Amino acid sequence: MSNAVEDYALVSGRKIYYRLLNPQLLSGERPLLVFLHEGLGCSALWRDFPELLSRSLEMPALLYDRLRYGKSDAAEEPFHNRYMHVEAFEYLPVLLDNLNLKQPLILVGHSDGGTIALLFAARFPQRTLAVISEADHVVNEEVTRQGIAAVVKEFENGPLRKRLEKYHHEKTEALVRGWSGMLLSEEGLKWSIVDELRDIHAPVMVIQGRNDAFGSAEQIHAKLKNISGDVYVSFLNNCGHVPHHEQRDIVLQTMKQFIENQTKTSG
């Protein structure tokens, strides 16, 4: 098992829960893996995947719950059309600085977390060694909205509410309503980060399931067309929105090989 430290850090006066895996590896120029969770997720929902990747690469890793999520504080401001930009441009850099984490970063993001990883790489190229973007969104497609509407329906009529309350507790209702409400709104229809992709010069590994209920191959095409750096694609058969659980061994090996190749190149 990996060594781990867990604690809280202050960001904008509010508590952010984080875990550092293998902190004994933080010395020197060894890259830091940063795991960024999905739109209704939290660090716990990665399960043991970050530990497996961190240990296999002998690299330290950071996981954290964004404001509104998991063990972190609630947020007073509502969701808006740049909520992922704020996370990438403001909150994540402050968290890294407050924890004195100055290492080159390999960002590993799932869904919303993948989008945040891409945005961070666009704004902070000097800090970004590489990006792994899994089931992310760069445009709000019709299939994306249909998937979100299905989530809302399950939250209202199915077991999803109880599953989410296990992680988000009293924050759950506001989280689901705010997240889905923004993305299904008129403002959300226009949401896109395609313009920012041109500022990404780090290598990007794109992982997506062919049966993802929240995004089509258009998400991949937009990245291939617009990202300035090298883009590598793994488009997985018989896989939905959570490749790192649905095809764990394949995804683990894909990420490991990509990261090893990038660190050899940078070294």
The full set of domain ranges for the chain reads 4-266
Task: Please write the tens of the pLDDT for every residue from 43-90.
Answer: 999 999 999 999 999 999 999 999 999 999 999 889 999 999 999 999
Among residues of the chain, what percentage have pLDDT more than 90? Answer: 94
Pull the structure tokens for residue 69. Answer: 């999520």
pLDDT 10s digits, 132-171: 999 999 999 999 999 999 999 999 998 999 999 999 999 9
Is 4-266 CATH 3.40.50.1820? yes
Contact 193, 114 (CB under 8 A): no
- The model scores a pTM over 0.95: yes
Kindly state the helix (H) or strand (E) to which residue 95 belongs, with its residue range: helix 92-98
How crowded is residue 17: how many other Cβ atoms within 10 Å of its Cβ? 20
Helices and strands of the chain, counted as H and E runs:
12, 8
Query: What distance in Å separates the CA atoms of residue 108 and residue 117, rounded to the nearest whole number?
Result: 7
